Amino acid sequence: MELQLKTEQFTYYEAAEEAPISLETTQEAIVPDSCADVERIVDTTGVVLVHSKDVGPEGRLEISGVIKATVLFLPEAGREPGAVHISIPFHTACELREGAGRCAVRPWLRSIDSRLLNPRKMLTRADLVLEITAYRQKTVQLCTAAEGDDTLQVLEDQAETTVLTDVVEREFPYMEEMTVSASRRGVREILDSRTVLFPSETRIIGSKLVLKGIVRGELLCRDTAGEVFHLSQEYLFSQILETGASEDTGFARAAFCLTGYDYTIGSENDRDDDHVVTMSLHIRSFAEILEKRRLRFLSDMYSLSQDLELERQTLSVWEDTRSYTRKQNLREVLETGVAAKQVAAAWVTLGPCQRQQGEEGTGVQLPVQLKALYFDENDQLQLAEKTVQVHGETDDSAAGRIAVSCPGEAVAGPAPEGIELRFALEFAVDTGLRGEKPCIAQAKCRELQEEGETAPSIVLRKLSPGVRLWDVAKQYRTTTADILAANAMDSEEALIADKLILIPRHRV
């Protein structure tokens, strides 16, 4: 016979990493008529913009977007560098695991390069990786009480866990004006651009989720006299989303990515102002909403008058969670074929993280691509680049999520060995203890067979260290209250291990 159990639903999201998608795509481009013939390609950069990601009813994920590439070159005549801007569309699809209704896509440009087919034509090749996290909603039924007679003994347990209760995203436009110092000539042309986004603060206020972040625009410009210079400025931005999470127990993790961007010379009020560059962005914000919850459930039960057949389940919990950040300052030297006279611009690009479990803690390893554009002693524009593997360590072996960002711009300058580049990485660590709690899913009861005169009315035994009084009472089909009363004890803590105790038979 099925035993009636009182239950409560426990709903959350389960995040799972899907297999990354690798794409290689190429695009031919004609040098515009306004540009001179190309003599040498200096560098190629690219930005991946994911425009859409749609999950169909059968769990098929369709992803489309574009790679906006910039090819920096030197013309056959003259020393002023030029730039060709290319858009490379991409589309791919994959099957998500069963039940996944939402997903996050993180693009990585593993490599991008260009080569000349002739002085008026070039071929650009891009190697793209899409990392996908799928979110599946799960519901767990927790048994909190049992309905039966007074002979039913139940053991209650509880746990505080942190769970993912929602994932939200929203796209929004952002515009800011970057100003050029009055002591410098105005901007004639924007050769290349880089936009860096990273979160700075998340907070739940009432029913609102407030996300704050920092955007850094980095431009390689040519002024009205033909000189190349680097313009970099940071700005704060914020976004407000709706949430049902509690202000007291909820918190969020945020990420931002670009879905579109444009840099134009001039301000909104004066398009001819060459000391202002207008930055127009389309940003997609993505947030994981987490809450700390205290769960109550039955971990065990037995009956004094019947046999019980229990169906058990395991509840996974994430306890004692906390977050912290750790900064790591780095210095690298980029070798140059010729002596560097002046550094025009420097870039730091982070690759995907790989977790590593060591004896002293959890860490990550990630590729970091370093680039520096510089002028040699003949005032020719050159490129120095290097990819290094950076190791980040934590002191906690129970570290969960580890996110890496480069919050400040790189500082670069000529050095005897080439170009010295200094930068800092910030590791954001979520840590806690993962555990499993046994709990009851269902219970059936059947009549207890008569023991007759073979069952003793009282038993003497020692209580071994680590053995719960509950387990002893269950073994002899009595109650903890009866054992404590027979031994004139007020609580289980008063019992002494390895000392004989009386275990009376419970009379129904």
Kindly state the tokens that stand for 463: 């209580």
User: What is the spatial distance between Cα 315 and Cα 273, in angstroms, rounded to a whole number?
Assistant: 63
The two three-digit tokens of residue 449, written as one number: 């067979």
What is residue 122's predicted lDDT score, i.e. its pLDDT? 96
Encoded tokens for 63: 């992803």
d(CA 291, CA 321): 11
CA 483 to chain centre: 52
In this structure, are residues 478 and 303 in contact, taking their beta carbons and an 8 Å threshold? no
**pLDDT at residue 272, as a whole number:** 93
**Tokens 């071929």, residue?**
123
Instruction: List, in sequence order, every residue forming a beta bridge with 257; answer none if it has no partner.
Output: 284
Tokens matching residue 7:
């239950």
Give the integer Cα–Cα distance in Å for 59 and 100.
Answer: 7
361, exposed or middle or buried, with CB in 10 Å at 0-12, 13-18, 19+?
Answer: middle
311 within domain boundaries: no
d(CA 407, CA 420): 19
Domain-embedded: residue 429:
yes
Split into its structural domains, the chain has a count of 4
Length of the chain: 508
Q: How far apart are CA 336 and CA 386, in angstroms?
A: 11
Q: What is the pLDDT of residue 57?
A: 83
- Cα-only R_g, the chain: 32
CA distance 96 to 19: 9
Domain end residue (candidates: 258, 274, 304): 304
Q: What is the pLDDT of residue 508?
A: 58
SS (H, E, C) 208-272: EEEEEEEEEEEEEEEECCCCEEEEEEEEEEEEEEECCCCCCCEEEEEEEEEEEEEEEEECCCCCC
Which among 223, 221, 228, 234 is positioned nearest to 195, based on CA atoms? 234
Single out the residue of 314, 254, 291 nearest to residue 438, CA to CA: 314
- Where a domain ends, among 413, 432, 449? 449
Residue-by-residue pLDDT tens, the chain, 508 positions: 778 889 999 899 999 888 999 999 999 999 998 888 999 999 999 999 999 999 988 889 999 999 999 999 999 877 789 999 999 999 999 999 888 888 999 999 999 999 999 999 999 999 999 999 999 999 999 999 988 777 889 999 999 999 999 999 999 999 999 999 999 999 999 999 999 999 999 999 999 999 999 999 999 999 999 999 999 999 999 999 999 888 888 999 999 999 999 999 999 999 999 999 999 999 999 999 999 999 999 999 998 888 888 999 999 998 888 888 889 999 999 999 889 999 999 999 998 888 777 666 677 889 999 999 999 998 899 999 999 999 887 766 666 788 888 988 899 999 998 999 999 999 888 888 888 999 999 988 887 766 555 667 778 888 888 788 899 899 888 999 999 998 888 888 877 777 788 988 776 5
The answer to whether residues 44 and 104 belong to one domain is yes
Query: If residue 472 lies in a helix (H) or strand (E), which one and from where to where?
Result: helix 469-475
Task: Note the pLDDT of residue 306.
Answer: 85
The reply to whether 315 falls in a domain is: no
In a domain, 310, yes or no: no
Q: Which domain holds residue 280?
A: 148-304
Alpha helices in 75-156 (DSSP H): none
Helix (H) / strand (E) element for 481: namely helix 480-486
Please tell me the distance from the alpha carbon of residue 470 to that of residue 492, in angstroms, as a whole number: 9
pTM (predicted TM-score): 0.86
Residue spans of beta strands (DSSP E) within 351-499: 354-357, 362-376, 381-393, 399-405, 411-415, 418-447, 458-462
Q: What CATH number is given to the structural domain containing 475?
A: 3.10.350.10
Q: Is residue 313 part of a domain?
A: no
Please check whether residue 258 lies inside any domain of the structure: yes
Cα 184 to Cα 413: distance, rounded to the nearest angstrom? 20
Q: 143, 174, 202 — which closes off a domain?
A: 143
Q: Are residues 243 and 365 in the same domain?
A: no
In this structure, the answer to whether residues 127 and 43 fall within a common structural domain is yes
**Domain for residue 89, yes or no?**
yes
Tokens of 65: 């977007």
Together in a domain, 5 and 92: yes
From the list 381, 370, 377, 349, the residue with the least C-alpha distance to 419 is 370
How many Å apart are CA 268 and CA 178, to the nearest integer?
12
Give the Cα separation of 301 and 323 in Å (integer).
37
Q: Are residues 375 and 460 in the same domain?
A: no
The predicted pLDDT at position 182 comes to 92
The 10 Å Cβ neighbour count of residue 228 is 20
Q: Is 322 exposed, middle or buried (0-12, 13-18, 19+ CB in 10 A)?
A: exposed
Report d(CA 442, CA 431) in Å as an integer: 33
**Domain match, 242 and 218 both:** yes
DSSP, collapsed to helix, strand or coil, labels residue 475 as: helix
DSSP category for residue 2:
B
Q: In sequence order, what are the beta bridge partners of 484?
A: none
Look at residue 268 and tell me if it is in a domain.
yes
311/300 Cα distance (integer angstroms): 10
End-to-end CA gap in the chain:
21
**493 and 365 inside one domain:** no
Question: Which amino acid makes up residue 1?
Answer: M
Tokens standing for 316? 């996974």
Instruction: Name the 3-class secondary structure at 380.
Output: coil
* Residue 443, beta-bridge partner list: 310
Residues 300 and 152 grouped into a single domain:
yes
Residue 450, both tokens: 């008569």
Contacts of 218 (CB under 8 A, 6+ apart): 193, 194, 195, 196, 230, 231, 232, 345, 347, 409
* 300 plus 154 within the same structural domain: yes
3-class DSSP state of 492:
helix
Question: Do both 182 and 264 map to the same domain?
Answer: yes
- Together in a domain, 396 and 491: no
Judge whether 293 and 249 are in contact, CB under 8 Å: yes
164 lies in the same domain as 276: yes
